[in-house]
């Protein structure tokens, strides 16, 4: 194994062009080092991007919030640029591993490893994020929702790397909620998570809703059927009940034949509801359902 | 295996080292530099026994390759001169077998460097990446509370 620590993004792309799939990107290393030691990965070359400044940090442009792929979970959870309506993204970043893992692990690694349980991916999906992928001399953008091809497989060329993740900043009547079910508090791998992006009018009618689940499929994914059902409806107890039973059917169907199908399809209802109510709270500033 | 040249500052001392490319930071510390205060527990980032401070933040040294630490500042338990934290751990009985202690002390140090008045939840969160199989954590939490209180200028509680 050859270890290289490039000094700039340009150098990273140059090496990636030279070595293609023989070169594996390492940032936080919290997944890759374990895999290398277990013999599951045996890269000829590793390219360390953990100190490339161009790939670190969060900035706001005219239209987007823009996060560098080598930004750590700690930096995301502490970022003051991410306002309170984006709490769901911070909550997800805060729920990753432990302080030690969050200080090293990066959002780009979370996305590119394409683990079904990646914590920050459902909120980024619910934000309808766009990924910037770069190779030597070329840049392209894809929607995060189109990036996952299968468990552990993503739409990334052999000489390409993920450089930035961007999404539109939220308005006052929009909110991003997140909820995760894990086995223990620290270091819990997601057993189930939901992120909900919500935009409502004064009547609590859902103008836009985007829902993403984690750990219930081969990769984190949007729940389009549920989104379609909820769009245009007024949020009340009846709507929530209907949505929950629809979700239970969707999840049970997806996991049919697996031991976890029954548990997950029932648990999903509660996790989804919590994520939705978290989003509603951010839109309104109050939680009308908890009061009742 | 090629050797890779790195410059790294450990506990305030500059080192210019040649390391194997797949060598982990923990192996560099323990096997090459004989800084054996840093422990290896699980080797996969679950237990925190290998915690060190890297450029001001706690990390698991089993999940960092030594070459990645090029141009970085590392502090291990040997470099901690904070007698208040150490004494609080001893006085509160927060040390039993001692295996988790270096990691716990570094996690506590990292917390108290940023926050001198942490509440119980913040303390438990700060040490959530460190496993202890002896104390049941309560004595460790008390030790960190006590250290915070002394650092704030108060007496021990």
Per CB-CB distance under 8 Å, the chain B contacts of A48 are 65, 67-68
Classify residue B42 by burial, with Cβ atoms within 10 Å: 0-12, 13-18, 19+.
middle
Q: Do A185 and B128 touch (CB under 8 A)?
A: yes
pLDDT for the residue A77: 96
Partner residue facing A3 (CB), from B21, B43, B130: B21
Alpha-carbon gap: B68 to the closest alpha carbon of chain A (Å): 7
**Chain B CA closest to residue A51:** B68
User: What is the dihedral angle through the alpha carbons of A107, A113, A114, A120, rounded to the nearest 10 degrees?
Assistant: -20
pLDDT for the residue A287: 55
pLDDT for the residue A117: 84
pLDDT in tens, A73-116: 999 999 999 989 999 999 999 999 999 999 999 999 999 998 88
Alpha-carbon gap: A173 to the closest alpha carbon of chain B (Å): 31
Alpha-carbon gap: A174 to the closest alpha carbon of chain B (Å): 30
d(CA A66, CA A77): 15
Alpha-carbon gap: B83 to the closest alpha carbon of chain A (Å): 23
A188 in contact with B, Cβ within 8 Å? no
Higher local confidence (pLDDT), A189 or B32? B32
Q: Which CATH class is domain A1-48?
A: alpha beta
Alpha-carbon gap: B110 to the closest alpha carbon of chain A (Å): 10
Average pLDDT value over all residues in chain A: 93
Q: Which residues of chain B have pLDDT under 70?
A: 1, 155-157
Q: Do B22 and A26 touch (CB under 8 A)?
A: no
Per CB-CB distance under 8 Å, the chain B contacts of A26 are 65, 68
pLDDT in tens, A127-177: 999 999 999 999 999 999 999 998 888 999 999 999 999 999 999 999 999
Per CB-CB distance under 8 Å, the chain B contacts of A103 are 54, 57-59
What's the whole-number mean pLDDT along residues A180-190?
Answer: 67
Alpha-carbon gap: B19 to the closest alpha carbon of chain A (Å): 11
Measured CA angle at B43 (ends B39, B49), to 5 deg: 30
Strands, DSSP E only, in chain A? 2-4, 23-26, 45-48, 58-60, 64-68, 130-135, 138-143, 148-150, 153-154, 161-168, 174-181, 192-200, 206-214, 221-222
A10 in contact with B, Cβ within 8 Å? no
Q: Where are the domains of chain A?
A: 1-48, 174-291
Confidence tier at A291 by pLDDT (50, 70, 90): very low
Partner residue facing A100 (CB), from B21, B48, B68: B48
A7 in contact with B, Cβ within 8 Å? no
d(CA B89, CA A291): 44
d(CA A199, CA A169): 13
Q: Do A99 and B107 touch (CB under 8 A)?
A: yes
Per CB-CB distance under 8 Å, the chain A contacts of B24 are 33
Furthest-apart CA atoms within chain B: distance in Å: 55
CB A219 within 8 A of CB A151: yes
Percent of chain A at pLDDT above 90?
83
Confidence tier at A292 by pLDDT (50, 70, 90): very low
pLDDT in tens, A247-278: 999 999 999 988 888 989 999 999 999 999 99
> Which of B49, B54, B65, B108 is the mutation pick for testing A, counting most A CBs within 10 A?
B65
| Superfamily covering domain A174-291 | CO dehydrogenase flavoprotein, C-terminal domain (3.30.390.50)
d(CA A279, CA B117): 31
User: Comparing A52-56, A72-76, A218-222, which segment has the lowest mean pLDDT?
Assistant: A218-222
What is the number of H-type helices and E-type strands within chain A?
11, 14
> Which of A100, A101, A184, A186 is the mutation pick for testing B, counting most B CBs within 10 A?
A100
Q: Do A30 and B45 touch (CB under 8 A)?
A: yes
Per CB-CB distance under 8 Å, the chain B contacts of A186 are 128-129
What domains are defined for chain B? 3-78 (3.10.20.30), 81-151 (1.10.150.120)
């Amino acid at each position: 194994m050859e270890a290289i620590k490039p000094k700039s993004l340009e150098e990273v792309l140059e090496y990636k062009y030279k070595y293609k799939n023989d070169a594996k990107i390492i940032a936080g290393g919290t997944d890759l080092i374990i895999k290398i030691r277990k013999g599951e990965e045996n890269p000829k070359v590793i390219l360390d991007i953990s100190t490339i400044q161009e790939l670190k940090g969060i900035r706001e442009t005219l239209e987007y919030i823009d996060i560098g792929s080598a930004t750590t979970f700690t930096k995301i959870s502490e970022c003051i640029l991410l306002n309170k309506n984006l709490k769901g993204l911070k909550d997800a970043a805060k729920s990753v591993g432990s302080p030690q893992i969050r200080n090293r692990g990066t959002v780009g690694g979370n996305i590119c490893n394409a683990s079904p349980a990646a914590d920050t991916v459902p909120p980024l999906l619910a934000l309808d994020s766009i990924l910037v992928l770069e190779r030597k001399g070329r840049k392209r953008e894809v929607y995060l929702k189109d990036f996952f091809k299968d468990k552990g497989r993503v739409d990334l060329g052999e000489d390409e790397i993920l450089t930035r993740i961007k999404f539109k900043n939220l308005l006052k009547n929009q909110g991003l909620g997140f909820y995760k079910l894990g086995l223990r508090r620290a270091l819990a791998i997601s057993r189930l998570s939901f992120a909900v992006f919500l935009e409502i009018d004064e009547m609590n009618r859902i103008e836009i809703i985007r829902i993403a689940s984690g750990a219930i499929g081969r990769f984190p994914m949007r729940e389009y059927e549920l989104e379609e059902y909820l769009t245009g409806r007024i949020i009340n107890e009846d709507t929530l009940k209907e949505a929950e039973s629809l979700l239970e059917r969707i999840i049970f169907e997806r996991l049919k034949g697996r031991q976890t199908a029954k548990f997950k399809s029932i648990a999903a209802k509660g996790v989804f509801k919590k994520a939705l109510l978290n989003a509603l709270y951010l839109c309104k500033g109050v939680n009308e359902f908890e009061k009742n | 295996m090629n050797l890779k040249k790195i410059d790294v500052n450990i506990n305030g001392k500059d080192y210019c080292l040649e390391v194997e490319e797949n060598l982990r930071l923990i192996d560099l510390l323990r096997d090459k530099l004989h800084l054996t205060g840093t422990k290896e527990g699980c080797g996969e980032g679950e237990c925190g026994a290998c915690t060190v401070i890297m450029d001001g933040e706690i990390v698991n040294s089993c999940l960092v390759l030594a070459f990645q630490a090029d141009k970085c500042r590392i502090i291990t338990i040997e470099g901690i001169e904070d007698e208040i934290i150490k004494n609080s751990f001893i006085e509160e009985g927060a040390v039993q077998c001692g295996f988790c202690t270096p990691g716990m002390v570094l996690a506590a140090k990292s917390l108290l460097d940023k926050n001198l008045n942490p509440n119980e939840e913040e303390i438990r969160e700060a040490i959530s990446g460190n496993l202890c199989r002896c104390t049941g954590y309560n004595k460790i939490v008390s030790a960190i509370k006590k250290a915070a209180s002394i650092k704030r200028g108060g007496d021990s509680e």
